[in-house]
A and B are shown apart, each in its own frame.
Chain A
Amino acid sequence: MLTWAGIICQNGLCITPCHHGREFIYLGGMVVTKSRQVSLRNKSILGLENMTVAEMELVLDTAKEMKNIIDRDIKKVPTLRGKSIINLFFEPSTRTRTSFELAGKYLGADVVNITTSASSVVKGESLRDTLMTVEAMGVDVIVMRHQAEGAAHYAANTVSPLIINAGDGAHEHPTQGLLDMFTIKQYKGNLQGLKIAIIGDILHSRVARSNIWGLKKMGADIHIAGPQTLLPRFIEQTGIHVHNRVEDALEAADVVNVLRIQLERQKKGLFPSAREYARIFGINQVRLALAKPDALIMHPGPMNRGLEIAPDVAYSEKSAIQEQVKNGLAIRMALLFLVLMGGKNIETIA
């Protein structure tokens, strides 16, 4: 399965999609690295349900390299020069859109944003026509956020540019799933056997679903908890543990991933009040004491401090919430690089 790839590295920067650091061999300006024969080149990223463990590991390893670029003074590399990426957002999202935009720009690609208010969607144009218009403009990648589950799948079946799903309804948010995995790995070394508690509104959460798909494949032990009204019925059939007492999920957890609660759910009668939610299901220091002493706290953002998470938890030394944002950028750089370049053409990194 292992092949050898020769890479010219002129300025000490080398992006390889697939190496483990210790496998590097330096030969007088030439870096030789082992590369796996798994590739994401020309693949759309629709969800972690469809990704193999090898593919996910490839992304995580590549993101490690990308993170080095983010930390440099001059962040721009010309790897994706001449490639164009469009952020097609049918739902407002400053965070994810900005993250993809910077990811593309750091790698030298041209990035254009289209959001609902600016697009022709308001005029009643069909998704097919919007996609075909974007396709006709010759873009290489469409990063798409849409309120309807399966919209990214529809796009991938409809037009030729590669699709990266930036969230489709309550279905999947694969880059968030990958960045959460990357963050856990960063602090815990690996994912196998970790007890991971996901707390809050699982029912409406694409973050939760991508986490469940990805982490399950990586061998983690997943426990979800929240008000019963916000847990999908029958989800236990997928082999995860379901609790309506948050405390049961937190017990000896290695990781606590707290999801955002949207207040409109309260209006639909799914829980009685924000006050009651915070009191019974919110993550505070007292509840957190049930988890392992070195438990990691995560949140996909944006947070409702004092509702699903207490401020002293969000800003504690156990919190990886800021790091998640940085890792999100690295993951998105890695994905754009992998689907467009596939780990070949590495000489274009001057």
Chain B
Amino acid sequence: MKLLLKAGRIINPVNNTDEIGDILIMDGKIAEIGPELSCEGAAVYQASGLVIAPGLIDMHVHLREPGLEAKEDIASGTRAAAAGGFTTIACMPNTKPVVDNSILVSGILQRAEDEGVVRVKVIGALSKGQEGKELAEVGDMVYAGAVAISDDGHYVDNAELLLNGLEYLARFDSPIISHAEDEALAGDGFMHEGAVSAMLGIKGRPAVAEDIAVARDILLAEYTGGSVHIAHVSSKGAVELIRQAKKRGVRVTAEVTPHHLALTDDVVATFDTATKVNPPLRSADHLEALLAGLKDGTIDAIACDHAPHAFEEKDREYRFAPSGFAGLETSLGVILTKLYHTGKFTLNEIIERMTAAPARILKLNSGKLEVGVPADLTIIDPDYEWIVDSKRFYTRGKHTPFDGMKLKGKAVATIVNGNLIMQNGEVHE
């Protein structure tokens, strides 16, 4: 099986290159990169006018399997990933049962092998049952292949649990991913606290709830020397805290979602449950701080927090609807529309934050284009104009705040391990 990608704009953020060339793929690996390649018997993919990037990585995905298959499963979630241009995704452990032991880690990896179409990495729970009390068998899970540890969906309210987790995991060199929002302050709110929530009468989740949580996580990482990754940063206070911590040499990394970079809290005024998410969509001042943080490297990665729900779960009163929505199939389009076509970021910067950065945080041998590495690549048409239509999603989660929105830029092919698994939006079996 040989595949030759011809005349594409090859962007490789690891060595900051951006030049026209060809890539030859043989036996699932990148065999050659250079100008005017040719190879007897290779299938040719004409990539002129298109961008060839390392396969996109999303480090924050909820695949919902096991137990929550009405929302998503490994088969549907990995197809959504392929459609969105992702070759590797890391799935969160807040399933039923919670992924809190090595058998479940192995089980998900096996099922992903059998039913998935992209690479799946597993994130194990920090506490047994994600109950925030006892440390789960995190070392065993890391040995079984877990790439990070997290109680995502919940804040680790018990500071001692996080402290112990950070110290214990030092031996295993695995980061703890924190969903940082103080429960007492944010727990019963369901949108950003601001002028919009004030007039909608909806209880807010104040930005300070995130700031406090991020500050505590940073202080514990600094105290223990452990490594903490802040998921879906959404407040300007959190951005500044992370910026200062990085200057002090604290081992902290961070991610931001496309929706927090693209939308503000006034979209909630329609009471469309597709706008309900934790942490919430915030006001424009926070959005600007997130863009600045992503630009200057304070925020390392872009991750979409793909959190699909069944239609009937989201089809109800705003207050009672679950938080989160599908993101894999809109992520790249939203980012290119809002960051690249506005002139704020270069393609190289964007691709770095969607490939090399998450690979660095999770210590994956991917996110780069070089001879000998597994051939995971994404081919992007940065100028392709399209309209989001959730009915055509591969994910089961049909709610998205981007539904009907006109976007510019899309993945037109996804290659995993040398196999062309998605072309022009169609995922091949």
Interface of A toward B, CB cutoff 8 Å: 49, 126-128, 146-151, 153-154, 169-172, 204-206, 209, 212-213, 232-235, 237-238
Q: Closest residue of chain B to A146, judged by CB?
A: B317
Q: Enumerate the 4 nearest inter-chain pairs by beta-carbon distance, A residue then B residue, closest first.
A: A150-B271, A170-B201, A148-B317, A232-B198
- B198: chain A residues at CB < 8 Å are 232-235, 237-238
A235-B195, A238-B195 known; A149+B201 contact, CB < 8 A: yes
Q: Is B199 an interface residue (CB 8 A)?
A: yes
Q: Is B153 an interface residue (CB 8 A)?
A: no
A233-B193, A234-B193, A234-B195 known; A151+B317 contact, CB < 8 A: yes
- Min distance, Cβ B277 to any Cβ of chain A, angstroms: 16
Q: Is B270 an interface residue (CB 8 A)?
A: yes
- A212: chain B residues at CB < 8 Å are 199
B201 touches A171 (CB 8 A): yes
- Report the separation of the CA atoms of residues A237 and B193 in the bound assembly, to the nearest whole angstrom: 12
Contact of A232 among B197, B271, B317 (CB under 8 A): B197
Q: Closest residue of chain B to A206, judged by CB?
A: B201
- Min distance, Cβ B205 to any Cβ of chain A, angstroms: 12
19 A-B pairs whose Cβ atoms sit less than 8 Å apart in the complex: A126-B312, A127-B317, A128-B315, A148-B317, A149-B271, A150-B200, A154-B271, A154-B316, A154-B318, A171-B200, A212-B199, A213-B199, A232-B197, A233-B193, A234-B197, A235-B195, A237-B194, A237-B198, A238-B198
Q: Is B143 an interface residue (CB 8 A)?
A: no
Contact of B202 among A126, A170, A238 (CB under 8 A): A170
- Min distance, Cβ B117 to any Cβ of chain A, angstroms: 34
B202 touches A171 (CB 8 A): yes
Q: Is B384 an interface residue (CB 8 A)?
A: no
Contact of B317 among A150, A209, A237 (CB under 8 A): A150
Interface of B toward A, CB cutoff 8 Å: 193-195, 197-202, 204, 206, 270-271, 312, 315-320
Contact of B318 among A149, A205, A232 (CB under 8 A): A149
A234 touches B316 (CB 8 A): no
- A232: chain B residues at CB < 8 Å are 197-199
B316 touches A126 (CB 8 A): yes
- A153: chain B residues at CB < 8 Å are 270-271
Q: Closest residue of chain B to A237, judged by CB?
A: B195
- Report the separation of the CA atoms of residues A209 and B196 in the bound assembly, to the nearest whole angstrom: 12
A148-B319, A149-B318 known; A235+B199 contact, CB < 8 A: yes
Contact of A169 among B201, B204, B206 (CB under 8 A): B201
A148-B317, A150-B318, A169-B319 known; A49+B199 contact, CB < 8 A: yes
- Report the separation of the CA atoms of residues A128 and B201 in the bound assembly, to the nearest whole angstrom: 22
- Report the separation of the CA atoms of residues A204 and B317 in the bound assembly, to the nearest whole angstrom: 18
A149-B201, A171-B200 known; A154+B317 contact, CB < 8 A: yes
- Report the separation of the CA atoms of residues A49 and B317 in the bound assembly, to the nearest whole angstrom: 19
- B194: chain A residues at CB < 8 Å are 234, 237
- Report the separation of the CA atoms of residues A132 and B318 in the bound assembly, to the nearest whole angstrom: 18
A154-B271, A234-B194 known; A149+B200 contact, CB < 8 A: yes
- Min distance, Cβ B378 to any Cβ of chain A, angstroms: 37
- B195: chain A residues at CB < 8 Å are 234-235, 237-238
B316 touches A128 (CB 8 A): yes
A127 touches B316 (CB 8 A): yes
- Report the separation of the CA atoms of residues A171 and B315 in the bound assembly, to the nearest whole angstrom: 19
Supply 14 further A-B pairs (C-beta < 8 A) apart from A154-B271, A154-B317, A235-B198: A126-B312, A127-B316, A127-B317, A128-B315, A128-B316, A150-B319, A153-B271, A154-B318, A170-B202, A171-B200, A233-B206, A234-B194, A237-B194, A238-B198
A148 touches B320 (CB 8 A): yes
B271 touches A238 (CB 8 A): no
- Report the separation of the CA atoms of residues A112 and B323 in the bound assembly, to the nearest whole angstrom: 35
- B318: chain A residues at CB < 8 Å are 148-150, 154
Contact of B199 among A128, A146, A147, A238 (CB under 8 A): A238
- A147: chain B residues at CB < 8 Å are 319
- B197: chain A residues at CB < 8 Å are 232, 234
- A170: chain B residues at CB < 8 Å are 201-202
Q: Closest residue of chain B to A213, judged by CB?
A: B199
A209 touches B199 (CB 8 A): yes
- B320: chain A residues at CB < 8 Å are 148
- A154: chain B residues at CB < 8 Å are 271, 316-318
- Report the separation of the CA atoms of residues A49 and B196 in the bound assembly, to the nearest whole angstrom: 12
- B206: chain A residues at CB < 8 Å are 233
- Report the separation of the CA atoms of residues A235 and B200 in the bound assembly, to the nearest whole angstrom: 10
- Report the separation of the CA atoms of residues A150 and B200 in the bound assembly, to the nearest whole angstrom: 8
- A238: chain B residues at CB < 8 Å are 195, 198-199
A149 touches B319 (CB 8 A): yes
Q: Closest residue of chain A to B201, judged by CB?
A: A170
- Min distance, Cβ B398 to any Cβ of chain A, angstroms: 15
- B312: chain A residues at CB < 8 Å are 126
- Min distance, Cβ A177 to any Cβ of chain B, angstroms: 13
- Min distance, Cβ A51 to any Cβ of chain B, angstroms: 15
A234-B195, A237-B195 known; A209+B201 contact, CB < 8 A: yes
- B201: chain A residues at CB < 8 Å are 149, 169-172, 204-206, 209
Q: Closest residue of chain B to A169, judged by CB?
A: B201
- Report the separation of the CA atoms of residues A209 and B312 in the bound assembly, to the nearest whole angstrom: 30
- A204: chain B residues at CB < 8 Å are 201
- A205: chain B residues at CB < 8 Å are 201
- B200: chain A residues at CB < 8 Å are 149-150, 171
- Report the separation of the CA atoms of residues A149 and B320 in the bound assembly, to the nearest whole angstrom: 10
- Report the separation of the CA atoms of residues A238 and B197 in the bound assembly, to the nearest whole angstrom: 11
- Report the separation of the CA atoms of residues A151 and B316 in the bound assembly, to the nearest whole angstrom: 8
Most chain B C-beta atoms within 10 Å of own C-beta, residue among A206, A209, A213, A234: A234
